[in-house]
Structure 1
Amino acid sequence: MPAITTTATATALRRRPARVACLAAASAAVAVSLTLPAHASERPAEATASTQEVTQQVNESTTRTAVEKATDNGDKQADKQAEDPGRGAEFDDDGKLIPIAHDEQPDPVPASREEIDKWIKEALKVMDENDIPGSYDGIYSNLMRESSGDPYTINMWDTNAHKNIPSKGLLQVIDPTFEQYHVDGTKKDIYDPVANIVAACNYAADKYGSMDNVNSAY
């Protein structure tokens, strides 16, 4: 009996380290499970949600950029239109005139004979003060041929239009000519009737001797 007891005790002692090791492993597993975040198993789903959010943000940013760009372009167009009130004129994003076919040119809207008469007489006063030749009849006949008396006429179809220097106003003057022949004392606005007439007559005097010598496109 003592020998058997001793053997059993020895066997139990031999098994104790293995049991301790198992218990230690189990305890470690429990400890690990307790220290893991509750949402650790949900990370893939969370990552997917995060990706969707980023994609949505990118799409929203792209949409905002497109809207802002369109708004900017609209503002540029409005600004250009405010700067250049040519009848029916449209401009691209770079501020360049968009040419059209000849038969699409808007019909002129003539001023009254009283208004035209007033403008020509005011122009003649300025011309007289600056020794620029020209007569009432010479101005009137050219003015009616060129613009039908519409101070906001702009040619949107000829070669000058395609070069982005369209003819403008009562006597159809291009911007470079207006700038070169503009006369002090008149407005620096090519569509202003008096300024347009005086600059055109100043140019005609330099090139043809007088607006009275002009009977066609000049």
Structure 2
Amino acid sequence: MPLSSISGYNRLNKKTKYSAAGIAAAGAAAVAFALVPGGNADAKTTAKDLPAKPVAFTSQKVDSKAQQEILLKQAALTSKQAQAEAAQKKAAEAAAAKKAAAEAAAKKEAAAKKAAAAQAAKERAAKEAASRAAARAKLAAAKKTYPNNLDGWIRESLDIMKKHNIPGTYNGIYKNVIRESGGNPRAINNWDINAQNGVPSKGLLQVILPTFQTYHVKGTPFDQYDPVANIVAACNYAADRYGSIDNVNGPY
């Protein structure tokens, strides 16, 4: 083989190249000398005349037991890794299931709270509506209207008398009103003894001013000619003196 074909030879310096060449030459001479016994070259001696010796190759026996142990260890490691991965996957699935259950429970609780709040709001609205209705009814009762005539005046007087526990009936009031004034709220008596004393009887039930002032009922106009105020004051006086306007059957 030419020295120039040796890998890296061309990169060697000149001194190194000379050394390598000398070593190669010496090696070749040694081989040639070994082929010629005694150092004498025999032209008749050839390579085929040399005894053939088998070349011995050393082969390493594979230790099957050690290899088996390695394979078993690898299988055990693979199995352990697989088990670890399976356990990790199972733990992840359990965590996901737990999270899903917690989220479902939270949603259910939120829905329950929302439903309870809606029910409470509904009940509160119903209660407020009932309260408003009651207030309207109370207001309507407080603002009860009566016709502006004898019937209306008597009915309104009876409602006021009821609040103040003054006895009397519609018929008892009506018969005395007709007898005293004929139903005229502006009626006045200018000829009897009261008139002569300067306190004439006035109104539906012909009440004099001192009596009106004494038995006037709070909440009614302070006016003798007011039909309701006149009736209520007269009935209050009659209750005090006769027990009830119903017991009055003549001048009082």
TM interval, short-chain normalised: 0.3 to 0.5
Q: Which of structures 1 and 2 has the bigger CA Rg?
A: 2
Normalized against structure 1, the TM-score is what? 0.48
Normalized against structure 2, the TM-score is what? 0.41
- The structure with higher relative contact order (CA 8 Å, sep 6+) is 1
